[in-house]
Chains A and B, each alone.
Chain A
Protein backbone atom coordinates (compact mmCIF):
# COMPACT_ATOMS: atom_id res chain seq x y z
CA UNK A 1 0.00 0.00 0.00
CA UNK A 2 1.20 3.47 -0.91
CA UNK A 3 2.17 5.76 1.94
CA UNK A 4 -0.42 8.35 2.91
CA UNK A 5 1.00 11.75 1.92
CA UNK A 6 1.41 13.91 5.04
CA UNK A 7 0.78 17.20 3.20
CA UNK A 8 -2.79 16.21 2.28
CA UNK A 9 -6.02 16.27 4.31
CA UNK A 10 -8.49 13.38 4.28
CA UNK A 11 -12.19 12.63 4.77
CA UNK A 12 -13.81 9.63 6.41
CA UNK A 13 -15.41 8.93 3.02
CA UNK A 14 -11.92 8.35 1.55
CA UNK A 15 -11.29 11.54 -0.40
CA UNK A 16 -8.00 13.41 -0.20
CA UNK A 17 -7.79 17.21 -0.31
CA UNK A 18 -4.85 19.41 -1.21
CA UNK A 19 -5.06 23.09 -0.27
CA UNK A 20 -3.38 25.05 -3.08
CA UNK A 21 -1.51 28.33 -2.50
CA UNK A 22 -4.45 30.28 -3.99
CA UNK A 23 -6.85 28.69 -1.48
CA UNK A 24 -8.55 26.38 -4.00
CA UNK A 25 -8.88 22.69 -3.20
CA UNK A 26 -7.78 19.77 -5.35
CA UNK A 27 -9.64 16.56 -4.54
CA UNK A 28 -9.13 12.89 -5.33
CA UNK A 29 -9.73 9.47 -3.78
CA UNK A 30 -7.27 7.72 -1.50
CA UNK A 31 -5.12 4.74 -2.26
CA UNK A 32 -7.19 2.74 0.21
CA UNK A 33 -10.33 3.65 -1.77
CA UNK A 34 -8.88 2.61 -5.13
CA UNK A 35 -7.68 -0.66 -3.67
CA UNK A 36 -11.06 -1.42 -2.15
CA UNK A 37 -12.86 -0.49 -5.39
CA UNK A 38 -10.65 -2.58 -7.66
CA UNK A 39 -10.14 -1.77 -11.34
CA UNK A 40 -11.64 1.67 -12.02
CA UNK A 41 -13.39 1.76 -15.39
CA UNK A 42 -15.51 4.92 -15.42
CA UNK A 43 -15.59 8.37 -13.83
CA UNK A 44 -18.47 10.83 -13.85
CA UNK A 45 -17.11 14.20 -12.75
CA UNK A 46 -18.91 17.50 -12.14
CA UNK A 47 -18.86 20.29 -14.75
CA UNK A 48 -16.86 23.42 -14.09
CA UNK A 49 -19.05 26.19 -12.71
CA UNK A 50 -21.33 23.87 -10.73
CA UNK A 51 -22.27 25.06 -7.22
CA UNK A 52 -21.86 22.30 -4.65
CA UNK A 53 -22.81 21.90 -1.00
CA UNK A 54 -20.64 20.30 1.68
CA UNK A 55 -21.34 16.57 1.78
CA UNK A 56 -23.11 16.56 -1.59
CA UNK A 57 -22.46 13.54 -3.83
CA UNK A 58 -21.02 15.25 -6.90
CA UNK A 59 -19.06 12.55 -8.70
CA UNK A 60 -19.23 8.81 -9.30
CA UNK A 61 -16.35 6.42 -9.54
CA UNK A 62 -17.18 3.04 -11.04
CA UNK A 63 -14.98 0.00 -10.81
CA UNK A 64 -15.66 -3.35 -12.44
CA UNK A 65 -17.23 -4.28 -9.11
CA UNK A 66 -19.41 -1.36 -8.10
CA UNK A 67 -20.29 2.32 -8.28
CA UNK A 68 -19.32 4.68 -5.46
CA UNK A 69 -20.21 8.31 -4.81
CA UNK A 70 -17.59 10.97 -4.21
CA UNK A 71 -18.56 13.85 -1.98
CA UNK A 72 -17.76 17.56 -1.95
CA UNK A 73 -15.93 18.17 1.34
CA UNK A 74 -16.97 21.84 1.44
CA UNK A 75 -19.44 24.20 -0.20
CA UNK A 76 -18.12 26.10 -3.19
CA UNK A 77 -17.80 26.12 -6.95
CA UNK A 78 -16.24 23.44 -9.14
CA UNK A 79 -13.52 25.12 -11.17
CA UNK A 80 -12.12 22.16 -13.07
CA UNK A 81 -12.49 18.40 -13.55
CA UNK A 82 -9.64 16.14 -14.59
CA UNK A 83 -10.40 15.09 -18.16
CA UNK A 84 -7.19 13.03 -18.28
CA UNK A 85 -8.54 10.84 -15.48
CA UNK A 86 -11.90 10.50 -17.28
CA UNK A 87 -10.04 9.38 -20.42
CA UNK A 88 -7.88 6.91 -18.47
CA UNK A 89 -9.82 5.78 -15.38
CA UNK A 90 -7.17 3.11 -14.68
CA UNK A 91 -4.77 5.94 -13.76
CA UNK A 92 -6.63 6.12 -10.41
CA UNK A 93 -5.48 2.56 -9.64
CA UNK A 94 -1.95 3.35 -10.81
CA UNK A 95 -1.56 6.39 -8.52
CA UNK A 96 -4.56 7.69 -6.62
CA UNK A 97 -2.65 10.67 -5.17
CA UNK A 98 -1.13 11.90 -8.45
CA UNK A 99 -4.42 11.64 -10.34
CA UNK A 100 -6.87 14.15 -8.93
CA UNK A 101 -10.57 14.25 -9.84
CA UNK A 102 -11.82 17.83 -9.47
CA UNK A 103 -10.96 21.26 -8.04
CA UNK A 104 -13.21 23.44 -5.91
CA UNK A 105 -13.06 27.11 -4.97
CA UNK A 106 -14.47 27.01 -1.44
CA UNK A 107 -16.91 29.63 -0.17
CA UNK A 108 -14.85 30.11 2.97
CA UNK A 109 -11.50 29.01 4.32
CA UNK A 110 -12.67 26.26 6.71
CA UNK A 111 -12.20 22.67 5.56
CA UNK A 112 -14.99 21.12 7.60
CA UNK A 113 -14.61 17.61 8.98
CA UNK A 114 -11.21 16.63 7.62
CA UNK A 115 -8.46 14.64 9.26
CA UNK A 116 -4.70 14.45 8.82
CA UNK A 117 -2.72 11.57 7.33
CA UNK A 118 -2.05 9.84 10.66
CA UNK A 119 -5.72 9.97 11.64
CA UNK A 120 -6.73 8.68 8.20
CA UNK A 121 -4.31 5.77 8.45
CA UNK A 122 -5.74 4.93 11.86
CA UNK A 123 -9.27 5.07 10.44
CA UNK A 124 -8.37 2.71 7.57
CA UNK A 125 -6.60 0.33 9.96
CA UNK A 126 -9.85 0.02 11.92
CA UNK A 127 -12.13 -0.76 8.97
Chain B
Protein backbone atom coordinates (compact mmCIF):
# COMPACT_ATOMS: atom_id res chain seq x y z
CA UNK B 1 0.00 0.00 0.00
CA UNK B 2 3.01 2.25 -0.20
CA UNK B 3 3.60 4.42 -3.21
CA UNK B 4 6.38 3.30 -5.52
CA UNK B 5 8.15 5.13 -8.27
CA UNK B 6 6.51 4.76 -11.66
CA UNK B 7 7.94 1.77 -13.53
CA UNK B 8 9.43 2.87 -16.82
CA UNK B 9 8.41 -0.09 -18.95
CA UNK B 10 5.08 -1.30 -20.32
CA UNK B 11 4.38 -4.24 -22.63
CA UNK B 12 2.34 -3.90 -25.84
CA UNK B 13 -0.59 -5.43 -23.89
CA UNK B 14 -0.68 -2.69 -21.25
CA UNK B 15 -3.87 -1.10 -22.69
CA UNK B 16 -5.60 -4.50 -22.65
CA UNK B 17 -4.68 -4.98 -18.98
CA UNK B 18 -6.04 -1.59 -18.04
CA UNK B 19 -9.25 -2.24 -20.02
CA UNK B 20 -9.65 -5.61 -18.26
CA UNK B 21 -9.42 -3.95 -14.82
CA UNK B 22 -6.00 -5.32 -13.90
CA UNK B 23 -4.32 -4.40 -10.66
CA UNK B 24 -0.86 -3.33 -11.84
CA UNK B 25 2.41 -3.67 -9.96
CA UNK B 26 6.07 -3.03 -10.62
CA UNK B 27 7.87 -6.24 -11.63
CA UNK B 28 11.55 -5.85 -12.53
CA UNK B 29 10.85 -2.33 -13.77
CA UNK B 30 7.78 -3.37 -15.78
CA UNK B 31 4.24 -2.31 -14.98
CA UNK B 32 2.53 -5.72 -14.99
CA UNK B 33 -0.86 -7.14 -13.96
CA UNK B 34 -0.75 -8.96 -10.60
CA UNK B 35 -4.40 -9.95 -10.95
CA UNK B 36 -7.61 -8.94 -12.69
CA UNK B 37 -9.78 -9.44 -9.58
CA UNK B 38 -9.16 -12.77 -7.86
CA UNK B 39 -5.83 -14.48 -8.34
CA UNK B 40 -7.29 -17.68 -6.89
CA UNK B 41 -9.95 -17.78 -9.62
CA UNK B 42 -7.22 -17.15 -12.19
CA UNK B 43 -5.19 -20.01 -10.73
CA UNK B 44 -8.16 -22.39 -10.96
CA UNK B 45 -8.88 -21.29 -14.55
CA UNK B 46 -5.42 -22.53 -15.55
CA UNK B 47 -5.71 -25.81 -13.60
CA UNK B 48 -9.24 -26.56 -14.88
CA UNK B 49 -9.71 -24.78 -18.22
CA UNK B 50 -7.52 -22.12 -19.85
CA UNK B 51 -5.79 -18.95 -18.73
CA UNK B 52 -3.27 -16.61 -20.32
CA UNK B 53 -0.38 -14.49 -19.14
CA UNK B 54 1.33 -11.54 -20.73
CA UNK B 55 4.98 -12.58 -20.62
CA UNK B 56 6.18 -9.90 -23.04
CA UNK B 57 8.49 -8.55 -20.34
CA UNK B 58 10.62 -11.64 -20.86
CA UNK B 59 13.13 -11.24 -23.67
CA UNK B 60 13.61 -13.36 -26.78
CA UNK B 61 17.18 -13.35 -28.03
CA UNK B 62 18.07 -14.76 -31.45
CA UNK B 63 21.54 -16.24 -31.77
CA UNK B 64 22.69 -17.18 -35.23
CA UNK B 65 25.82 -18.06 -37.16
CA UNK B 66 28.08 -21.03 -37.73
CA UNK B 67 29.47 -22.16 -34.40
CA UNK B 68 26.35 -21.28 -32.41
CA UNK B 69 26.11 -24.82 -31.06
CA UNK B 70 29.72 -24.88 -29.91
CA UNK B 71 29.29 -21.45 -28.32
CA UNK B 72 26.16 -22.45 -26.38
CA UNK B 73 27.78 -25.70 -25.25
CA UNK B 74 30.41 -23.52 -23.59
CA UNK B 75 27.97 -20.92 -22.26
CA UNK B 76 25.21 -23.04 -20.73
CA UNK B 77 25.29 -25.67 -17.98
CA UNK B 78 22.85 -27.90 -19.84
CA UNK B 79 24.02 -29.33 -23.16
CA UNK B 80 22.33 -28.10 -26.37
CA UNK B 81 23.96 -31.04 -28.21
CA UNK B 82 21.07 -33.18 -26.95
CA UNK B 83 18.63 -31.08 -29.04
CA UNK B 84 18.18 -33.05 -32.25
CA UNK B 85 14.76 -32.34 -33.74
CA UNK B 86 14.38 -28.78 -35.06
CA UNK B 87 12.60 -26.51 -32.59
CA UNK B 88 13.37 -28.69 -29.58
CA UNK B 89 13.68 -26.74 -26.31
CA UNK B 90 16.03 -27.08 -23.36
CA UNK B 91 15.86 -25.52 -19.90
CA UNK B 92 19.28 -24.41 -18.67
CA UNK B 93 21.11 -22.26 -16.19
CA UNK B 94 23.70 -19.78 -17.41
CA UNK B 95 26.38 -19.70 -14.73
CA UNK B 96 29.12 -17.31 -13.70
CA UNK B 97 32.67 -18.50 -13.03
CA UNK B 98 31.77 -19.07 -9.37
CA UNK B 99 29.03 -21.50 -10.40
CA UNK B 100 26.28 -19.03 -9.41
CA UNK B 101 23.19 -18.65 -11.57
CA UNK B 102 23.23 -15.56 -13.82
CA UNK B 103 19.85 -16.61 -15.22
CA UNK B 104 17.72 -19.61 -16.01
CA UNK B 105 16.42 -19.71 -19.56
CA UNK B 106 14.85 -21.74 -22.32
CA UNK B 107 16.87 -22.29 -25.49
CA UNK B 108 15.25 -23.46 -28.74
CA UNK B 109 17.39 -24.99 -31.48
CA UNK B 110 16.20 -24.66 -35.08
CA UNK B 111 19.56 -25.60 -36.58
CA UNK B 112 23.20 -25.54 -35.51
CA UNK B 113 23.33 -21.96 -36.76
CA UNK B 114 19.91 -20.77 -35.53
CA UNK B 115 18.84 -20.60 -31.88
CA UNK B 116 16.42 -18.58 -29.79
CA UNK B 117 16.87 -18.03 -26.06
CA UNK B 118 14.13 -16.68 -23.79
CA UNK B 119 15.45 -14.99 -20.66
CA UNK B 120 13.96 -13.36 -17.57
CA UNK B 121 12.93 -9.70 -17.58
CA UNK B 122 14.95 -8.60 -14.56
CA UNK B 123 18.17 -10.16 -15.81
CA UNK B 124 17.79 -9.44 -19.55
CA UNK B 125 20.26 -6.55 -19.82
CA UNK B 126 22.85 -8.37 -17.75
CA UNK B 127 22.33 -11.57 -19.77
CA UNK B 128 22.88 -9.76 -23.07
CA UNK B 129 26.07 -8.17 -21.77
CA UNK B 130 27.29 -11.55 -20.48
CA UNK B 131 26.56 -13.25 -23.79
CA UNK B 132 28.27 -10.48 -25.78
CA UNK B 133 31.33 -10.68 -23.53
CA UNK B 134 31.50 -14.41 -24.02
CA UNK B 135 31.12 -14.08 -27.76
CA UNK B 136 34.04 -11.64 -27.71
CA UNK B 137 36.07 -13.87 -25.37
CA UNK B 138 35.63 -16.98 -27.52
CA UNK B 139 36.01 -15.12 -30.81
CA UNK B 140 32.82 -16.71 -32.12
CA UNK B 141 31.37 -15.10 -35.25
CA UNK B 142 27.77 -14.89 -34.11
CA UNK B 143 24.90 -12.48 -34.39
CA UNK B 144 22.97 -11.78 -31.16
CA UNK B 145 19.66 -9.98 -31.65
CA UNK B 146 17.42 -9.02 -28.69
CA UNK B 147 13.82 -9.12 -29.93
CA UNK B 148 12.04 -6.32 -28.08
CA UNK B 149 9.82 -6.08 -31.19
CA UNK B 150 8.02 -9.23 -30.03
CA UNK B 151 5.23 -9.75 -27.53
CA UNK B 152 4.71 -13.08 -25.77
CA UNK B 153 1.50 -14.65 -24.52
CA UNK B 154 1.49 -17.87 -22.49
CA UNK B 155 -1.80 -19.76 -22.90
CA UNK B 156 -2.00 -22.49 -20.27
CA UNK B 157 -4.46 -25.10 -19.05
CA UNK B 158 -6.10 -28.36 -20.16
CA UNK B 159 -8.19 -26.52 -22.79
CA UNK B 160 -5.54 -23.94 -23.68
CA UNK B 161 -4.43 -25.41 -27.00
CA UNK B 162 -8.00 -25.94 -28.29
CA UNK B 163 -8.93 -22.38 -27.41
CA UNK B 164 -5.73 -20.92 -28.86
CA UNK B 165 -6.42 -22.80 -32.10
CA UNK B 166 -9.87 -21.21 -32.25
CA UNK B 167 -8.59 -17.73 -31.47
CA UNK B 168 -5.44 -17.47 -33.58
CA UNK B 169 -5.86 -18.31 -37.29
CA UNK B 170 -2.34 -19.65 -37.95
CA UNK B 171 -2.53 -22.00 -34.99
CA UNK B 172 -5.96 -23.26 -36.06
CA UNK B 173 -4.75 -23.81 -39.62
CA UNK B 174 -1.45 -25.50 -38.70
CA UNK B 175 -1.17 -29.11 -39.88
CA UNK B 176 0.49 -30.11 -36.65
CA UNK B 177 1.47 -28.26 -33.51
CA UNK B 178 4.93 -28.72 -32.01
CA UNK B 179 5.42 -31.65 -29.66
CA UNK B 180 5.90 -31.16 -25.93
CA UNK B 181 8.90 -28.92 -25.14
CA UNK B 182 9.28 -28.04 -28.80
CA UNK B 183 8.60 -24.91 -30.83
CA UNK B 184 7.66 -24.22 -34.43
CA UNK B 185 7.66 -21.10 -36.55
CA UNK B 186 4.13 -20.78 -37.86
CA UNK B 187 3.86 -17.77 -40.16
CA UNK B 188 5.15 -14.81 -38.15
CA UNK B 189 4.56 -16.59 -34.85
CA UNK B 190 6.88 -18.71 -32.80
CA UNK B 191 4.63 -21.25 -31.09
CA UNK B 192 6.28 -23.18 -28.26
CA UNK B 193 4.68 -26.11 -26.46
CA UNK B 194 6.06 -25.00 -23.12
CA UNK B 195 4.96 -23.25 -19.95
CA UNK B 196 5.51 -22.37 -16.32
CA UNK B 197 2.35 -23.74 -14.72
CA UNK B 198 2.51 -27.55 -14.73
CA UNK B 199 -0.35 -27.64 -17.25
CA UNK B 200 -0.41 -28.19 -20.99
CA UNK B 201 -0.22 -25.08 -23.11
CA UNK B 202 1.60 -22.83 -25.52
CA UNK B 203 3.90 -19.85 -25.27
CA UNK B 204 3.34 -17.72 -28.35
CA UNK B 205 5.80 -15.06 -29.51
CA UNK B 206 4.27 -12.67 -32.01
CA UNK B 207 4.87 -9.21 -33.46
CA UNK B 208 4.01 -6.54 -30.87
CA UNK B 209 1.58 -4.95 -33.33
CA UNK B 210 -0.58 -8.10 -33.27
CA UNK B 211 -0.51 -8.70 -29.52
CA UNK B 212 -3.62 -6.71 -28.58
CA UNK B 213 -5.84 -8.36 -31.19
CA UNK B 214 -4.55 -11.83 -30.25
CA UNK B 215 -5.24 -11.13 -26.55
CA UNK B 216 -8.80 -10.03 -27.32
CA UNK B 217 -9.40 -13.05 -29.59
CA UNK B 218 -8.13 -15.37 -26.85
CA UNK B 219 -10.40 -13.63 -24.33
CA UNK B 220 -13.35 -14.10 -26.72
CA UNK B 221 -12.44 -17.80 -27.01
CA UNK B 222 -12.81 -18.14 -23.23
CA UNK B 223 -9.19 -17.87 -22.14
CA UNK B 224 -9.07 -16.05 -18.80
CA UNK B 225 -6.50 -13.26 -18.35
CA UNK B 226 -4.25 -14.16 -15.41
CA UNK B 227 -1.74 -12.03 -13.55
CA UNK B 228 1.64 -12.56 -11.94
CA UNK B 229 -0.05 -13.59 -8.68
CA UNK B 230 -1.58 -16.72 -10.22
CA UNK B 231 1.60 -17.31 -12.22
CA UNK B 232 3.51 -17.51 -8.94
CA UNK B 233 1.17 -19.97 -7.18
CA UNK B 234 0.95 -22.12 -10.32
CA UNK B 235 4.73 -22.38 -10.76
CA UNK B 236 5.18 -23.01 -7.04
CA UNK B 237 2.70 -25.93 -7.11
CA UNK B 238 4.44 -27.17 -10.28
CA UNK B 239 7.80 -27.17 -8.47
CA UNK B 240 9.40 -24.66 -10.81
CA UNK B 241 12.06 -22.26 -9.58
CA UNK B 242 11.74 -18.50 -9.79
CA UNK B 243 14.95 -16.63 -10.58
CA UNK B 244 15.92 -14.10 -7.91
CA UNK B 245 13.92 -15.96 -5.30
CA UNK B 246 14.93 -19.63 -5.38
CA UNK B 247 18.35 -18.99 -6.91
CA UNK B 248 20.57 -16.09 -7.95
CA UNK B 249 24.18 -15.24 -8.78
CA UNK B 250 25.32 -16.44 -5.36
CA UNK B 251 23.41 -19.75 -5.47
CA UNK B 252 24.75 -22.93 -6.97
CA UNK B 253 22.19 -24.76 -9.11
CA UNK B 254 23.19 -27.83 -7.07
CA UNK B 255 21.65 -26.13 -4.01
CA UNK B 256 18.53 -25.07 -5.89
CA UNK B 257 17.13 -28.40 -7.03
CA UNK B 258 18.63 -27.91 -10.48
CA UNK B 259 21.29 -30.65 -10.55
CA UNK B 260 19.20 -32.34 -13.29
CA UNK B 261 19.97 -29.39 -15.57
CA UNK B 262 23.76 -29.73 -15.21
CA UNK B 263 24.85 -32.02 -18.02
CA UNK B 264 28.23 -33.64 -17.35
CA UNK B 265 27.84 -36.59 -19.74
CA UNK B 266 30.34 -35.27 -22.27
CA UNK B 267 33.50 -35.15 -20.19
CA UNK B 268 35.24 -33.14 -22.90
CA UNK B 269 32.71 -30.33 -22.75
CA UNK B 270 33.74 -27.29 -20.73
CA UNK B 271 31.20 -24.64 -19.76
CA UNK B 272 31.34 -21.51 -17.66
CA UNK B 273 31.01 -22.46 -13.99
CA UNK B 274 31.85 -26.15 -14.45
CA UNK B 275 35.08 -26.00 -12.46
CA UNK B 276 33.36 -24.26 -9.56
CA UNK B 277 30.53 -26.81 -9.49
CA UNK B 278 33.04 -29.68 -9.53
CA UNK B 279 34.85 -28.10 -6.56
CA UNK B 280 31.67 -27.55 -4.52
CA UNK B 281 31.77 -29.79 -1.46
CA UNK B 282 28.97 -28.51 0.76
CA UNK B 283 25.61 -29.34 -0.79
CA UNK B 284 22.10 -28.18 0.15
CA UNK B 285 18.83 -29.71 -0.99
CA UNK B 286 15.72 -27.97 -2.25
CA UNK B 287 12.57 -29.76 -1.10
CA UNK B 288 8.90 -28.93 -0.92
CA UNK B 289 7.22 -28.12 2.39
CA UNK B 290 3.57 -28.60 3.22
CA UNK B 291 2.38 -26.68 6.27
CA UNK B 292 0.50 -28.91 8.72
CA UNK B 293 -0.29 -26.18 11.25
CA UNK B 294 -1.99 -22.84 10.71
CA UNK B 295 -0.63 -19.90 8.77
CA UNK B 296 0.99 -19.18 5.44
CA UNK B 297 4.59 -19.96 4.52
CA UNK B 298 6.58 -17.16 2.88
CA UNK B 299 10.12 -16.79 1.60
CA UNK B 300 13.00 -16.51 4.11
CA UNK B 301 11.40 -18.32 7.04
CA UNK B 302 13.70 -20.47 9.17
CA UNK B 303 13.09 -24.22 8.88
CA UNK B 304 14.16 -26.40 11.81
CA UNK B 305 15.01 -29.99 10.83
CA UNK B 306 16.67 -32.89 12.66
CA UNK B 307 19.72 -32.31 10.40
CA UNK B 308 20.07 -28.60 11.14
CA UNK B 309 18.36 -25.43 10.00
CA UNK B 310 17.30 -24.43 6.53
CA UNK B 311 15.29 -21.64 4.97
CA UNK B 312 12.24 -21.28 2.75
CA UNK B 313 12.99 -19.66 -0.60
CA UNK B 314 9.41 -19.28 -1.88
CA UNK B 315 6.12 -19.81 -0.11
CA UNK B 316 2.46 -19.09 -0.51
CA UNK B 317 -1.03 -20.45 -0.15
CA UNK B 318 -1.69 -23.22 -2.64
CA UNK B 319 -5.15 -22.72 -4.16
CA UNK B 320 -5.18 -26.29 -5.54
CA UNK B 321 -4.27 -27.92 -2.22
CA UNK B 322 -6.02 -25.31 -0.03
CA UNK B 323 -3.05 -25.15 2.33
CA UNK B 324 0.26 -23.43 2.46
CA UNK B 325 3.30 -24.77 0.59
CA UNK B 326 6.90 -23.66 0.14
CA UNK B 327 10.27 -24.52 -1.30
CA UNK B 328 12.97 -24.85 1.34
CA UNK B 329 16.75 -25.05 1.03
CA UNK B 330 17.69 -27.68 3.62
CA UNK B 331 20.72 -29.65 4.79
CA UNK B 332 21.65 -32.32 2.20
CA UNK B 333 20.61 -35.15 4.54
CA UNK B 334 16.97 -34.00 4.56
CA UNK B 335 14.61 -36.34 2.73
CA UNK B 336 10.97 -36.14 1.64
CA UNK B 337 8.49 -37.21 4.29
CA UNK B 338 10.24 -35.72 7.32
CA UNK B 339 8.58 -33.67 10.05
CA UNK B 340 10.07 -30.17 10.36
CA UNK B 341 9.10 -26.88 11.99
CA UNK B 342 8.90 -23.45 10.39
CA UNK B 343 9.36 -20.20 12.28
CA UNK B 344 6.29 -18.12 11.36
CA UNK B 345 6.61 -14.76 13.08
CA UNK B 346 8.31 -16.25 16.10
CA UNK B 347 6.13 -19.37 16.45
CA UNK B 348 7.35 -22.81 15.40
CA UNK B 349 4.67 -24.43 13.24
CA UNK B 350 4.64 -28.06 12.06
CA UNK B 351 5.33 -28.87 8.42
CA UNK B 352 6.57 -31.85 6.44
CA UNK B 353 9.00 -32.18 3.58
CA UNK B 354 7.75 -33.49 0.23
CA UNK B 355 9.18 -34.25 -3.18
CA UNK B 356 8.49 -31.61 -5.82
CA UNK B 357 6.22 -30.93 -7.64
CA UNK B 358 3.09 -30.54 -5.52
CA UNK B 359 0.62 -30.55 -8.44
CA UNK B 360 0.89 -31.65 -12.06
CA UNK B 361 -1.79 -31.60 -14.78
CA UNK B 362 -4.47 -30.58 -12.32
CA UNK B 363 -3.75 -33.44 -9.89
CA UNK B 364 -2.31 -33.14 -6.37
CA UNK B 365 0.78 -35.31 -5.97
CA UNK B 366 1.26 -35.01 -2.22
A contact set with B: CB distance below 8 Å = 14, 33, 35-36, 38-39, 41-42, 44, 60, 62, 64-67, 90, 93, 127
Is there an interface contact between B39 and A39, defined as CB atoms closer than 8 Å?
Answer: yes
Is there an interface contact between A42 and B1, defined as CB atoms closer than 8 Å?
Answer: no
Whether B210 is near chain A, meaning CB under 8 Å from some CB there, is: no
| CA–CA, A14 and B324, complex, Å | 26
Is there an interface contact between B39 and A38, defined as CB atoms closer than 8 Å?
Answer: yes
Is there an interface contact between A14 and B1, defined as CB atoms closer than 8 Å?
Answer: yes
Q: A60-B345, A64-B233, A64-B319 are in contact. Are A38 and B294 (CB under 8 A)?
A: no
Whether B38 is near chain A, meaning CB under 8 Å from some CB there, is: yes
Whether B40 is near chain A, meaning CB under 8 Å from some CB there, is: yes
Is there an interface contact between B296 and A41, defined as CB atoms closer than 8 Å?
Answer: yes
Residues of B within 8 A of A36 (CB): 1
| CA–CA, A33 and B1, complex, Å | 8
Is there an interface contact between B1 and A38, defined as CB atoms closer than 8 Å?
Answer: no
Chain B minimum-CB-distance residue to A43:
B294
Is there an interface contact between B3 and A39, defined as CB atoms closer than 8 Å?
Answer: no
Is there an interface contact between A127 and B296, defined as CB atoms closer than 8 Å?
Answer: no
Is there an interface contact between B317 and A38, defined as CB atoms closer than 8 Å?
Answer: no
Convert B183-195 into 0s and 1s, putting 1 for each residue whose CB lies closer than 8 angstroms to a CB of A: 0000000000000
Q: A42-B295, A42-B296 are in contact. Are A93 and B317 (CB under 8 A)?
A: no
Most buried by A among B1, B233, B324: B1
Whether B298 is near chain A, meaning CB under 8 Å from some CB there, is: yes
Is there an interface contact between A65 and B229, defined as CB atoms closer than 8 Å?
Answer: yes
Q: How many residues of B contact A (CB 8 A)?
A: 20
Whether B34 is near chain A, meaning CB under 8 Å from some CB there, is: yes
Is there an interface contact between B294 and A44, defined as CB atoms closer than 8 Å?
Answer: yes
Residues of A within 8 A of B39 (CB): 38-39, 64-65
Q: A39-B39, A42-B317, A127-B1 are in contact. Are A62 and B229 (CB under 8 A)?
A: no
CB distance from B348 to the nearest CB of A (A): 15
A-B contact pairs, 22 of them (CB 8 A): A35-B23, A36-B1, A38-B23, A38-B34, A38-B38, A38-B39, A38-B229, A39-B38, A39-B39, A39-B40, A42-B294, A42-B317, A42-B324, A44-B295, A62-B317, A64-B39, A64-B229, A64-B317, A65-B39, A66-B298, A67-B296, A127-B3
Is there an interface contact between B316 and A64, defined as CB atoms closer than 8 Å?
Answer: yes
Is there an interface contact between B295 and A62, defined as CB atoms closer than 8 Å?
Answer: yes
Chain A minimum-CB-distance residue to B25:
A65
Contacts A38-B229, A42-B296 known; 11 new A-B pairs at CB < 8 A: A35-B23, A38-B35, A38-B38, A39-B40, A42-B294, A42-B317, A60-B345, A62-B296, A64-B229, A66-B298, A67-B345
Residues of B within 8 A of A38 (CB): 23, 34-35, 38-39, 229
